[in-house]
Amino acid sequence: MQFHGQDMPVVDTHADSLGAVLRGERNLYERSEKGQLDFPRMQEGGHTLQFFSLWVEPENKPERAMSRLMQYLDAFWTQIGAHSEWIRPVLDRESLEALLRDGGIGGVPSIEGAEGVGTDPAMVRILHRLGVRLMSLTWNERNALADGAGEEPGGGGVSRAGRAIIQEMNRVNIIVDVSHIAEAGFWDVLEISSRPVIASHSNCRELQNHRRNLSDAQIRALAAQGGIQGITFVRPFLGGSEDLERVVDHILHALAVVGTDRHLGLGSDFDGVDNPVGGLEDVTQLPRLAQRMSDRGLSDDSIRRILGYNYIDFLRNTWA
């Protein structure tokens, strides 16, 4: 993205666009008026790197979770491969630096809810070989690894099997994502993980008391461990006006809580909602977010970090 004459790479750690592919609604390599994200609109909006969620729907859990997960992975590689001349997989430091040097757009497969992994650390290794670079233990419900945020109030922590999965993720270098986990599990993950973790798409509970949002204590702890909070564009997680202005409210609150702009990014949840935020109807509208951050007093350097460079630095360190 070009903003105020500067090149500002944009990184987003959560979109559910592959679901539309599997439902037969559209292909991501074709520009569409449906949904919120596809490759042509990513290019049009100056988007750089997108984490594409592999989300196994509840009706496929637990018996068909692995087969459905493989369908998502196949969709990712098929969609990327259809136009490999202008979108590329980004799975390591070398491919990240090539993307930043040469331009274009990149994609990373990520898992939202690890039911397809089960309790076998060998599956973590296999999924890493297939390209997965980010995974949350849960979606909203309880599984064998941990309790999801949907179990609140009273959700439990990480199980013994979940601990083993986190340790294997650390070993093979799959980033642990704490979005969707119950709060007790959040604190367990920070204690277990030997590497920094992220909250790919979670907002601020102080502004909207939703079980999917993070308390100020969680936001500070995530940053202290070297992690990043991805502000998301989901209306129920925003509260207030539920629009672009409210997204900036959450950004400013998180910055005030942490006291630095080094631990904040974007996790839009594009294509994960039916009613998009006003002013951020699709990926081409992200320059509006940059402008509103600027209007409300953020420097260009801070905007650049929040839009993408915090995640770029995080990935460079993770994949060093």
Per-residue pLDDT reduced to its tens digit, 156-167: 999 999 999 999
Average pLDDT over residues 308-312: 98
pLDDT band at 188 (very low <50, low <70, confident <90, very high): very high
The encoded tokens of residue 215 equal 């308390």
- Could you tell me the pLDDT band of residue 208, with boundaries at 50, 70 and 90? very high
- Structure confidence at residue 311 as a pLDDT band (50, 70, 90): very high
pLDDT of residue 271: 98
Alpha-carbon distances, residue 134 vs 63, 96, 296 (angstroms): 23, 15, 32
For 134-158, write each residue's pLDDT tens digit: 999 999 999 999 999 999 999 999 9
CA 169 to CA 125: how far, in whole Å?
8
Average pLDDT over residues 72-98: 95
Does residue 286 surpass a pLDDT of 90?
A: yes
| Average per-residue pLDDT for the chain | 97
Q: Environment class of residue 282 by beta-carbon count within 10 Å: exposed (0-12), middle (13-18) or buried (19+)?
A: buried
Task: Name the CATH superfamily, with its identifier, for domain 2-318.
Answer: Metal-dependent hydrolases (3.20.20.140)
Q: pLDDT at position 160, please?
A: 98
Under the banding of pLDDT at 50, 70 and 90, the label for residue 86 is confident
- The answer to whether residues 283 and 42 touch, using CB atoms and an 8 Å cutoff, is yes
Q: Residue 114 above 90 pLDDT? A: yes
* Distance, CA of 78 to CA of 67 (rounded, Å): 16
Asked if 193 and 228 count as a contact pair (C-beta separation under 8 A), the reply is no
Give the gyration radius of the chain's Cα atoms. 18
Residue 238 pLDDT = 98
CA-angle at 309, arms to 231 and 8, nearest 5°? 95
Check pLDDT > 90 for residue 84.
Answer: no
Write the pLDDT tens digit of every residue in 266-285.
999 999 999 999 999 999 99
213 has pLDDT over 90: yes
For residue 236, say if its preceding peptide bond is cis, omega within 30 degrees of 0. Answer: no
* Rounded to 5°, angle at Cα 215 from 152 and 137: 55
CA 205-146-51 angle, 5° bins: 65
SS3 52: strand
Q: What is the per-residue pLDDT for 85?
A: 83
Which H or E run contains 300? helix 300-304
Q: In this predicted structure, what is the pLDDT of residue 258?
A: 98
> Any residues with CB less than 8 A from the CB of 62 and at least 6 apart, and which?
115, 143
Helices 160-172 and 183-192, packing angle to 10 deg = 50
First to last CA, the chain: 25
- pLDDT at position 145 is 98
For residue 102, what are the CA distances in angstroms to 49, 88, 99, 199, 262? 13, 11, 5, 29, 25
319 to 47, 82, 92, 138: CA distances (angstroms): 21, 26, 6, 24
| pLDDT confidence of residue 169 | 98
Alpha-carbon gap, residue 199 to 228, rounded angstroms: 6
How do the domains of the chain map onto residue ranges?
2-318
What's residue 22's pLDDT? 98
Mean pLDDT of 283-311: 98
Question: Angle formed by the axes of helices 183-192 and 216-224, to 10°?
Answer: 10
Mutual angle of helices 160-172 and 121-129, in 10-degree steps:
30
Please check whether residue 17 is in contact with residue 272, taking contact to mean a CB–CB distance below 8 angstroms: no
Residue 9 — very low, low, confident or very high, per pLDDT cuts 50/70/90? very high
What is the separation of C-alpha 171 from the centre of its chain, rounded to a whole number of angstroms? 21
Q: What is the pLDDT of residue 117?
A: 96
Number of helices (H), then strands (E), belonging to the chain: the values are: 13, 11
Once rounded to an integer, what is the mean pLDDT over residues 243-255? 98
